[in-house]
Amino acid sequence: MCGIVGYVGERKAVPIILEGLKRLEYRGYDSAGLAVYCDDQTLGIRRASGKLRNLEEAIRLDPVEGSFGIGHTRWATHGRPTEENAHPHRDCTGDIVVVHNGIVENYLALKDQLTAEGHRFTTETDTEVIAHLVEKCSDKPLEDAVRCAVKQLSGVFALAVLSRKHPNKIVAARLGPPLVVGLGDHEFFVASDVPALLNHTRDMVFMNDGDIAILTPEGVRFTDFDGRTLKRATQRILWDPLMAEKGGYKHFMLKEIFEQPRAVRDTTLGRVGQGSGRIFLDEVDITPKQFQAFKSVRILACGTSWHAALAGKFMIERLARIPVEVDYGSEFRYRNPIVSSHELTVVISQSGETADTLAAQREAKQKGSPTLAICNVVGSMITREAKGAIYTHAGPEIGVASTKAFTCQLTALFLLAMYLGQTRGHLDEAESQRLVQELLRVPGKLETVLSHDSVYEELGRKLHRATDFLFLGRGVHFPIALEGALKLKEISYIHAEGYPAGEMKHGPNALIDEKLPVVILAARDTTREDSRTLYEKTVSNIQEVKAREGIVVAIVCEGDNEASRVADHVIQIPTTDDLLLPILEIVPLQLLAYHIAVRRGCDVDQPRNLAKSVTVE
């Protein structure tokens, strides 16, 4: 979950590394550090516990300069978040330094072996063993020493290494967590994620598992762990660097919430025929005949993406009439799942590097199931291992709590559901045209929802002292109840639960009293009779909460008269098709969570104990 930045070139390295680390601080913010090769041929190392500003202050008080170096922002796995445990880590001689993202699973055995050989350890981390393993082979070229070291590691890792004895060279290696190499003009970069490099280059090479990159001012070479030369394609990243800035908003999370109309529009455009209603998935290498032959669909995801997957189940089953199972990526392979070649496996990950989801994808592939990725990052590992991808065009998402990535995932799942329905003959042209028109109206309706931010802010002011929340929904709205609860607990640290509204009598009713806010998703598609039935049952749930003196916050569609008469607080959203309502419903819940967290003085962009990309299990 850590962030890595490296630079080789003619400019001063420290400002470039610090800038990159700022853009990666969402990946970890327990501690930070950097190391640069100085003019006096020493390695200048500065580290600090806590957030990146503490490292900046340490450098201000004790400056260091150099033209190549590596930096790191940490999310602790092994060892407390102290300065001592902050990266970079050194070997015994102090000539070799390493920054690392991942987990070395056999580090204790390696540490015992190295200690017996005379190596001295000073930290609690697993990373330190890597520096000592490189030191053992330090009589070789640095890239050969790194190859020797990584072959002894079990687990997952992305790392960057530099040595005092090998000026103007950084060696990076990947097995699991992401690494991207940036190509500049006589300067080269390595980082954990694209935003760290966008101010300097848009030409990127995404490293594969088993790759080693050797960066010098003359260029970049790629090899495998055995030293065989590799060719890797360069990709042009079209994100505007300003997309990774706050753009005048107080927090990245708020900016990203307000970017959702644009993100949903970008995810839709180019994939729908406005006249015909046809869906085009040109980046998917699965034929219509293969789609027709599938007997079931399985969706694998974690966290917020799992909630999107659960909503996707309702979309696909209704529009394509094919059974859908939803699994947690973190649990899937541990139950020896029954998978067949007649099953399509859809994997969802914002980063495309989520370790649990990637492992689940590989399990499904091994058992014969073709996989399809829904992802926000072009060239990420999950997309490379899939038969194709539906890319969500959300742009960089910096806030740890996912917002625009979630609504784009819902959009992508709706497109997939329509495509399956059309391919399998369950969605005719007239219905396809209607659904496409509804989808194209969603961005404008999101702008309407966002225009009422003052309503959510005022509600946050009234409810921010609550210690517990309950979120309820039925049908396709239940996953949004789960996601609303997750957003609130992630950034405000208030205990919150999402529940199917029909399960209230089976436990949650015991929690309701005059202090408990209960958020009930009561929006409905007025054109569907089954939506009317669910709505009536949901209004009954509101009555149950009021009978127990609970505080009801109802999300309803414009013009609603029944739920609005009973609820204490009402949030209105525009009407749309029932399967698209989740995209509109979640936005008020995101903003409610945001305003409550701000009122409580929480760090909404970097909530405690969490990181953006979960690249280790």
Report the catalytic residues.
2, 612
**Cα-only R_g, the chain:** 25
| Chain center to CA of 153 | 26
What CA–CA distances, in Å, run from 174 to 208, 210, 550?
7, 6, 52
Nearest-angstrom CA–CA distance, 439 and 42: 59
335 CB contacts (<8 Å, ≥6 apart)? none
Starting at the earlier edge strand, list the strands of the sheet with 43-49. Answer: 43-49, 31-37, 68-74, 3-8, 188-191, 180-183, 203-206, 235-236
Q: Which two tokens stand for residue 442?
A: 């969603």
DSSP SS3 for 484? helix
What's the distance, CA 407 to chain centroid? Answer: 13
Q: Which two tokens stand for residue 530?
A: 């089954």
Residue 347 makes CB contacts below 8 A (sequence gap 6+) with 299, 300, 301, 329, 357, 358, 360, 361, 364, 371, 372, 373, 374, 382, 386
Q: Give the residues across from 246 on adjacent strands.
A: none
Query: What sign has the CA pseudo-torsion 533, 535, 540, 545?
Result: positive
> What angle is formed at CA 139 by the lines to CA 134 and CA 142, rounded to 5 degrees?
50
Pick from 452, 387, 392: nearest CA to 584:
452
Residues contacting residue 115 through CB under 8 Å, at least 6 positions apart: 121
Q: What is the C-alpha separation between 245 and 130, in angstroms, rounded? A: 34
Q: Which of 431, 418, 437, 406 is nearest to 583 (CA)?
A: 406
**Cα–Cα–Cα angle for 586, 589, 591, rounded to 5 degrees:** 110
Q: Are 339 and 298 in contact (CB under 8 A)?
A: yes
User: Do 508 and 545 contact (CB within 8 A), yes or no?
Assistant: no
Task: Give dist(CA 349, CA 354) in Å, integer.
Answer: 6
Q: What is the DSSP letter of 476?
A: G
DSSP string, 96-131: EEEEEEEEETTHHHHHHHHHHTT----SS-STHHHH
User: Residue with structure tokens 């966290």?
Assistant: 303
How many angstroms separate the Cα of 338 from the Cα of each of 111, 316, 375, 468? Answer: 39, 21, 25, 39
Written as six digits, the tokens of 172 are 């990076």
For residue 95, the surrounding DSSP H or E stretch is none
- Residue 350 and residue 301: Cα distance in Å, rounded? 10
Number of Cβ within 10 Å of residue 561's Cβ equals 7
